[in-house]
Every structure is written in C-alpha cells, then in structure tokens.
Amino acid sequence: MTPPPRIRPQQLDFADKVRGLNWALVLLVPILGLVGYLVLYSAAGGAHAPWAWRHAVRLAFGTVAMLAIAFTDIRLIYRASYAIYAVCIFMLMAVDIAGTFSKGAQRWLDLGVVRLQPSEVVKVALVMALARYFHGLRLEEVRRPSALLAPLGMIGLPAVLVLGQPDLGTAVMLVAVGATVMFLAGVRLWKFLLAGAAVAAALPVIWANLHDYQRERVLTFLDPERDPLGAGYHILQSYIALGAGGIWGRGFLQGSQAQLDFLPEKQTDFAFALLGEETGFVGALVVLALYATVVAVAFAVALRAGHHFGRLLAAGLGVNFALYVVINVAMVAGLIPVVGVPLPFISYGGTAMFANLLGLGLILCVDVHRRLPLPRHPGDPLA
C-alpha cells in the first residue's frame, strides 16, 4: 500500500511577509528607543557619550536583526528551538568557568568584540523550547504528571545556574515565564497552587541560603530608612526623584536628583526614576501605556496564530516583556526589593536590548507566518 502523498507546505514570498508584518509593533520599538536615548542623554548631564550614542547604535542594529527574525520561516525557528536552548544553557555553564565579574557578580562572557550576559537571552530560549515541547502534546497528555517532568527540568536548570551567578531577579523571571507557558499550555491551576504552597513552606530554607546582600535588599525593602546612607540609599533617592516630578515633571535636563548625581544607577536600574522626575506622572504614564501596547499586541498575535507553537511563543514572550517592565517599575517605586532588572529600550544595556528585540522579532515572525501550518505530532504529514 502506497503512503499518502506529502502535503506541500505553503510558501510565503518576501512581499507576503512585508504585508503580514505588524507595523504597529515595529514602530513602537524606535519610539521607546527614542525615549531611552533622551533618558540616557539626560543621565549623562546633556551629553551623547557615554551611553546615549551606544544605545542608538545598538537599537539600529538590533532593529535590523528583529526584522530579519520576523521574516525567517517559522518552521526553521520551530526546528531550532531545542538547539538554541541548549546553546544558551552551555553559555550559562561557561559563565561559571570563564565569566567576568562586575559589581560582585559573575554574569558576563567576554567574547572580545562584545560582552554577553547569557541569562538575558536564556529567557527567550526557554519560551521557545517550552512552546515547541507543548506544541507536540495533546491536552490529555499535558495533564499527565509525567509530561511535566521535562518542562520542569527546562525551567529548573537555567534557574539554578542563574541563581549561582548570583542573579535572583532573573531566576524569578525564568520561573515566572516558564510557569506562564505551562499554564497557557493547559496545566491545571491546582498544580501551581500546590507548587506555591511548597515554595511558601520552603521560605525559611530559601532565606537561610540567600547571599548577605540579597537578605539586606529584602530588609531594606521592608524599611528603607534603617540604613539611609547605605543599603537604603538607592530606593530613598528613587522615592525623592519620583515625588519631585509631580504631575508634569521638572522638565528635560532639570531633574535635580539625576543632574546632581544623587540618584544612583540612573542609566540602568533607576532610569524610570529619572524619567519620572523630568516628565512627571503624565510622562511616566505615557511610557507605561506604550509598554502596555506592546504586550497587548503580543497577546493579539497569540490569539490569531494558526498553530499552538505560535500561540505559546507569542504569549510567553509577551509575558516575558511585561515582567521586565513590571519588575523594574515596582522596584523603582519600592513595591519589591531591588533586583536589577532593566527597563526595556530605556535602561542602558546591550544584552537586555538584544534579548527583547529577539523576543519581539519572534512575535512578529509568528504574526507573519500565522497561516503557515506546523506539524503537531510525529505522524503529521507536514513533519
């Protein structure tokens, strides 16, 4: 008996891909990048160096890379997902062996031309690997406990490696975004509640194994004024900057906290505090609305994707992007301890920008190829 003929996969030419591009999402990138340029220009006291011009160059090259990813056949991305995840795990392991130190942490690989922080890129790779894994499972298979061993390992391995750097904020993000993809894939809510109860029961052990500086951050979060000139200095100056901005802000280059160098890490972790001081509540709200639009577009892409891989990939990366924003803003506002998560396209940092542009490129790719079929199971004739 002759096997059934293989179905010829649908092909998209370049014109089809351009027409299918989500231009709203594409335009949001340079808009947020421009905001970041102005913030970094102000952080340097009204100078393009050392941060603003590098930010612009990285954004330009990164946007080109984002568009290249958007036009890449999603079937290639689907097939490469596990390999990309494995490469990122290898880089995380390499950090422990040959990583460079900065500010007391070993998180970077010096590649000569660039210095890479693998923990930023692994967030995107984790979503890709989980999306591929759950794409190949039926709902009844997802709900079997044995089917969760592989994804739990995928999440746990990079989280443990990142914790050893140490980088608690990134480890929390990895667990949060991994759990989100699992929930969207159909894992029942009671399993997450059970896991949450286990974590709560283990809090004393977790607290005992935190580094001294991590415990100090938690204690400072609970009472910033316990050490106003030491551990509490950062967050107290952030409070002052945000409060001084009022409704309309003090004006561009007019923020005293930033311009007089009272606000620490104003180009990275506390860039939002500088923004709030100079543009006020209104300016901060506009920027948050831009971020909310990016996340909304990501979920819209997920909803109209024609395959499970695309739905999980776009939604997972949308949540990953949202976590950057929520954690950074909550940290600056004193709602959570300081964990060192940058603000997308505004904080200075090359690897974080690359990781976010990579994620947005994949979301665009899902939208461009939303009608392109993907194999769901090994027996699928498209496989």
The token duo for 299 is 């979920």
Which of 127-136, 223-232, 333-342, 363-372 has the lowest average pLDDT? 223-232
Please classify residue 193 by burial: count the beta carbons closer than 10 Å to its beta carbon, then call 0-12 exposed, 13-18 middle and 19+ buried.
Answer: exposed
pLDDT digits (tens, 9 = 90+) for 324-349: 999 999 999 988 888 878 999 999 98
Confidence of residue 355 (pLDDT cuts 50, 70, 90): very high
Please tell me the predicted confidence (pLDDT) of residue 380.
Answer: 46
Q: Which of 327, 322, 251, 324 is nearest to 282 (CA)?
A: 251
Please tell me the predicted confidence (pLDDT) of residue 234.
Answer: 79
pLDDT digits (tens, 9 = 90+) for 146-160: 889 999 999 999 999
Round to whole Å and give the CA distance between 63 and 33.
10
Please tell me the predicted confidence (pLDDT) of residue 381.
Answer: 42
Please tell me the predicted confidence (pLDDT) of residue 317.
Answer: 97
Average the pLDDT over 214-229 and give the result: 69
pLDDT digits (tens, 9 = 90+) for 68-124: 999 999 999 999 999 999 999 999 998 888 777 666 566 778 776 778 889 999 999
Round to whole Å and give the CA distance between 39 and 55.
11
Confidence of residue 373 (pLDDT cuts 50, 70, 90): confident
Please tell me the predicted confidence (pLDDT) of residue 273.
Answer: 95
Element (H, E) at 55: helix 52-71
Average the pLDDT over 197-204 and give the result: 81
Round to whole Å and give the CA distance between 28 and 290.
7
What is the percent of the chain with per-residue pLDDT over 70, rounded to a whole number? 90
> For 269, phi and psi rounded to 5 degrees?
-60, -35
Average pLDDT, the chain: 87
Please tell me the predicted confidence (pLDDT) of residue 280.
Answer: 95
- Residue 108 pairs in a beta bridge with 100
Round to whole Å and give the CA distance between 166 and 102.
11
pLDDT: which is higher, 200 or 319: 319
Rg (CA), the chain: 22
Average the pLDDT over 267-273 and give the result: 93
Per the CB < 8 A criterion, the answer to whether 32 and 290 are in contact is yes
Please tell me the predicted confidence (pLDDT) of residue 379.
Answer: 41
Q: The whole model's pTM is what?
A: 0.90
Q: Which of 112, 74, 223, 94 is nearest to 161 (CA)?
A: 94
